[in-house]
Structure 1
């Protein structure tokens, strides 16, 4: 049995879901971002209790096929950008289509209708969040970040970053470092 969960986007969420499953005595095979694979069917009572317990933590069980599809797309993108060291060499559209085993046009239409933004916009927002994270770690240069996230150039990354955040990457990094220093002085 497969159960789909909305807002499950981190490894902490996975740990929390595993703990809830354990509390309810539900045996599982896998817990991945947005998906739980359970060994056997669960009772209606277990399903309802899982739904209540997850809701307390900000997660939701999904029953709607379109919502499940959109969450699956989001989880693929999040996993690809935030938790993988190497992004796929193929186009994102081909990668997502292959992973989902659906035509990309269909996926794109459903995603846009449900989320109100395109898959490409969602990818860009996630890439910019990843750039912010990497800038704060201060372990990679902007050129290395650009290469890691498959930007065609540092200028392209900088332009996209400024378009989304209103700041240049260098200015953002300076503000973040200044804030961090201020907190250390407290």
Structure 2
């Protein structure tokens, strides 16, 4: 059985997965699976099919990754989202990000890092920090967790390390940001393809 996969940009969470799945089903395509950054089908897609899917996705702010480096970058983004989920769930024996990505995507970290930077203009490490900071902003704005709990949920060993990095990236301490949440949070689905300079 042949499986056709499309890499899809601007997906970042379970809600994105549900929206993409519904779009595809309403258009008459029944994906066998939809995950962050990817939809899989058990049939070949014609050029007309892909163009129709492209239009449907665009109506909700998504896009098909066309170029090779874009496709790899989408896979890296999806893997990093999964890695952050494992951090939040306190998965035992969690690898370093570089080892996790290499194992998950079956390429050396050097190759992945080079292609990611060529496409986005930012390193994987910097992007990972940015994702953590945007998640931190979200949690601070909700005001449900203490700063120590937020640091722990984002994988920082101490509140001090988290607070130092947060201030370096935003210009404010977490406490100051909670009182006055500016600069505003950038949603994950906008961060990669709209916030960072595109070189591809």
Common topology (TM > 0.5)? yes
TM-score (norm 1): 0.86
Deviations 1:6-31 (A, max 9, x none): 11223232222212211222121110
TM-score (norm 2): 0.81
Q: Distance in 2 between matches of 1:80 and 1:125?
A: 14
Deviations 1:56-105 (A, max 9, x none): 22211122111100111112212332686325522111111111111001
Give unpaired runs (5+ residues) of structure 1.
177-186
8 Å Cα contact 1:87-1:149 kept in structure 2: no
Deviation, 1:48, is 0.9
Deviation, 1:167, is 0.7
| Aligned residues: CA RMSD | 1.8
Give yes or no for the alignment of 1:107 onto 2:112. yes
**Aligned counterpart, 1:39:** 42
Give yes or no for the alignment of 1:52 onto 2:55. yes
Q: Distance in 1 between matches of 2:172 and 2:110?
A: 33
Please state whether the residue corresponding to 2:144 is helix, strand or coil. Answer: coil
Q: In structure 2, which of residues 20, 24, 34 is the aligned counterpart of residue 21 of structure 1?
A: 24
**Aligned counterpart, 1:62:** 65
1 or 2 for the larger relative contact order (CA 8 Å, sep ≥6)? 2
Q: Distance in 1 between matches of 2:120 and 2:47?
A: 30
1:66-77 alignment, distance < 5 Å: 66-77=69-80
**Aligned counterpart, 1:30:** 33
**Larger helix proportion, structure 1 or 2?**
1
Q: Distance in 1 between matches of 2:65 and 2:88?
A: 29
Aligned length: 176
Q: In structure 2, which of residues 136, 142, 166 is the aligned counterpart of residue 137 of structure 1?
A: 142
8 Å Cα contact 1:112-1:118 kept in structure 2: yes
Give unpaired runs (5+ residues) of structure 2.
182-200
1:90-169 alignment, distance < 5 Å: 90-169=95-174
Please state whether the residue corresponding to 1:90 is helix, strand or coil. Answer: coil
